[in-house]
Structure 1
């Protein structure tokens, strides 16, 4: 009699079960886009570590849990899995040709390396005072008491901070009022093809106009702009950079690369918004965070790397927001050849996904996974480190997010400044995810009542 292991070996792996409830043509699109985390949690609870679900024109093999995430995220590019086939048709209309997944792998790696000088320790020494200053400037005109929408505020702050740190103050001041609006258009332009399939063309003209408006502003302002404390124009450095085979960036391509930097602020704004929402839904944490700030910072603003790293409890709250509301619930790749992943067969051409959203809510990995519990990251417990690939809100494996530290420090500064300046309260504590964005920010209106604190 043939054993199960022998059958798996001969066939190249077991067939992955298909989630039930698929509809003709649209598959599982309705339950997935209504609640991707809940849908996949239910599917994996029924079918196990791997399950196939269907979207219009696409068949996706979802792997859930640290073991499945590790197997997917560690797949070898070009020979096993390819991100380009997934993201090029989605992102090129938004970010422009010649950058990101629209170029060969070695060129994309070189383009990513052009961001690294802005992510070094010496660069953060320059960035952090700029970040804190931008938040202080943003709230300077607020009265003694009032309200603000937390989603709108984070959408305003995140791109403004990115612009001042990575381009310069002139660009930040000039584009400050319109930059959040343009980035929201690009984010909206990502949602339709994600739902209907990347070959959907209706969004290309609209997002193309938005992208070119941004590119024109970058080409006009950025060459003569430089961040405070820097002697060089980041845009000028892009034009002088030399890559593989003597390749260089022309002005248009450099502008498109800067747009990719700015667009990363959209996910940061979502993460920052959920951090604030979760804190205000659990106000027992506010005295803990204020006491930590008084101990670490005293009367000084949060402007040094050493002081921000000592704000550990605030950092744990940022991690818990990443766990409960990752900006991207699934991380897909295309199988370049027939694969056998953890004993399951994934045929060539099929999409295979790691799943931050459902994986972050597994009770075998995180204790009381539906509970907001920043203590789970304390020394001695550290549930995010107990199992490799347990927390993957910023990706992992071969392709972790280059800007994760920048984003986390930015979020810590935003909420450090706000918590020191105001007493804050959610007007309506129940907050749901918005369904009209792939990044699932809090649904608006998400109103916060504030009262200025006496320092």
Structure 2
């Protein structure tokens, strides 16, 4: 493998090219690729085998995927085409990139693909939509739609905006600190009252600590319930959360409030059905994890790019200050067009959910390449968001590409797909975008920030993407910018 050396004069080069600046990267490149085919197509089928690489014995390209993220996926696409395979930690994984290949898998017209997430991240999403297949997925999704209506979102976002404002009032100004852990905690602080109707202190903090235990286990190397391991702690945290949430359901039904759990406990009817107590607990747990982890990653990305591009930060702040501070409505947040474009561009470059996992339930093909049943497939949707054939100068931060007149995201329906596509498209995508915008709106009103010239975040991809240096930041009042 001979990746291109990082171009120091290109914006966000590490996102589109595998960096070779560190000695460890040089070591990785010295291992032979060991090219081979995934499986021989059936005789007379007229299909091609999937090309790919074995990489390092057992480890394969697992380290490359964790270290370089979408840049490694781009490398595979350049080397082998839109359908390829690689070995990672003892397992062969088909990698699907490019708009047409991704659309084929996510549209799933021949019903050949099922969700592959349980095989990758374990049981942490069990009982949630992400771990379900049709027809169970469709039945649960139809019932849940009411919990993500605009009327319901208004209640959640109002609480989140209020809490974000209160929390940010306690953030340090003029002092250097790491933004990544601070933003993750902020996400938890604005989540519990909106989702559970529970204040963050003290009960909400304990709940979000348990949620974080589950999140950390998603990428655990040791997957044995041995005391002291991440896997064991996560199983224990999940049991506590399910028990706690199950006990909370009767009170949620009785209060008929505007928090997510209360709304979810009341949706459905004679024709639609209604979730039982455990189902409500499981869907609420999934929503806690998803609404916390991915939105924190999106907020981190937006804070980074706003700090790198002060002119966009100024425009977004002026737009926020042009409206009343509180209460915040869905309509008002949707009207923050500059901030909307900034967030969309941020998660184009650094997608909180860069892949979708599927598994084949029968022999099938993608773009004429044979994939046997039982094969794990990584749908690399974030790669599409970095392809020069879909985006002008894709490595550049350019929110204007999402504005009327350019609309680069509409070149192909899978050009920009941070929330997935098809039947498994994220049911909470509007909720997630509103939460991120409400948080950034509150942050822009109170602070300004700027990163040193030449600073590029060292993104890591061991779980959801985040800068490995914690993203050191100094906040100042907008007047000091």
TM-score with structure 1 length normalisation? 0.85
Deviation at 1:334, TM superposition (A): 1.0
Alignment match, 1:3 = none
Deviates more, 1:221-230 or 1:362-371: 221-230
Larger mean CA deviation between 207-216 and 104-113 belongs to 104-113
Question: Using the alignment, how far apart are the partners of 1:115 and 1:261 within structure 2?
Answer: 11
> Could you say which residue in structure 1 is the equivalent of 2:348?
323
- The match for 1:372 is 397
C-alpha distance in structure 2 between counterparts of 1:35 and 1:316, whole Å? 26
Is 1:72 the counterpart of 2:99 in the alignment? no
SS, match of residue 216 in structure 2: helix
Assess if the C-alpha contact under 8 Å between 1:395 and 1:401 holds in 2: yes
Gaps of at least 5 residues in structure 2 are 1-40
Asked if 1:413 is matched to 2:438, the reply is: yes
1:59 match: 92
Once the two structures are TM-superposed, the CA of residue 245 in structure 1 deviates from its matched residue by: 11
Comparing 132-141 and 444-453, the one that deviates more: 444-453
Judging changes above 3 Å, is the alpha-carbon distance between structure 1 residues 60 and 243 closer, same or farther for their aligned structure 2 residues?
farther
3-state SS, counterpart of residue 306 of structure 1: helix
In the alignment, the residues of structure 2 paired with residue 154 and residue 324 of structure 1 have an alpha-carbon distance, to the nearest angstrom, of 19
The answer for the alignment partner of 2:203 in structure 1 is: 175
SS at match of 1:176: helix
**1:212 maps onto 2:246 in alignment:** no
| Corresponding residue for residue 27 of structure 2 | none
Shift in Å at residue 353 of structure 1?
A: 2.9
**What TM-score does the superposition give when structure 2 sets the normalisation length?**
0.81
Q: CA deviation at 1:300?
A: 3.2
2:56 pairs with one of 23, 26, 37: 23
Q: How does 1:348-427 map to 2 (within 5 A)?
A: 348-426=373-451
- CA distance change for structure 1 residues 292 and 103 in 2, over 3 Å: closer, same or farther? closer
Label 1:408 to 1:229 Cα distance change in 2 as closer, same or farther (>3 A).
farther
SS of 1:18 mapped into structure 2 = strand
Offset at 1:450? 1.2
Question: Is the CA contact 1:126–1:229 (under 8 Å) kept in the aligned structure 2?
Answer: no
Contact 1:346-1:352 at 8 Å conserved across structures: no
In the TM superposition, what whole-angstrom CA distance separates every residue of 1:5-44 from its partner, at most 9, and x where no partner exists? xx9993342112113x612222211212211212111121
Secondary structure of 1:59's aligned partner = strand
The structure richer in helix per residue is 1
The answer to whether 1:343 aligns with 2:368 is yes
The answer to whether the 8 Å contact 1:12/1:340 transfers is no
Show the 5 A alignment for 1:86-97.
86-91=116-121, 93-95=123-125
Match of 2:48 in 1: 14
Name the CA shift for 1:16/1:89 in 2 (closer, same or farther; >3 Å): closer
Structure 1, unpaired ranges of 5+: 1-6
What does 1:183-194 align with in structure 2 at a 5 Å threshold? 183-192=211-220
**In the aligned structure 2, how far is the partner of 1:159 from the partner of 1:244?**
36
1:278 corresponds to which residue? Answer: 305
- Mapped to 1, the partners of 2:264 and 2:353 lie a distance apart of 31
Aligned to 1:130: 159
- Shift of residue 274, structure 1, vs aligned partner: 0.9
Distance in 1, matches of 2:428 and 2:144, equals 9
CA RMSD of aligned residues (A): 3.2
Query: Are 2:471 and 1:446 aligned?
Result: yes
1:109 equivalent to 2:138? Answer yes
CA drift at 1:100: 4.4
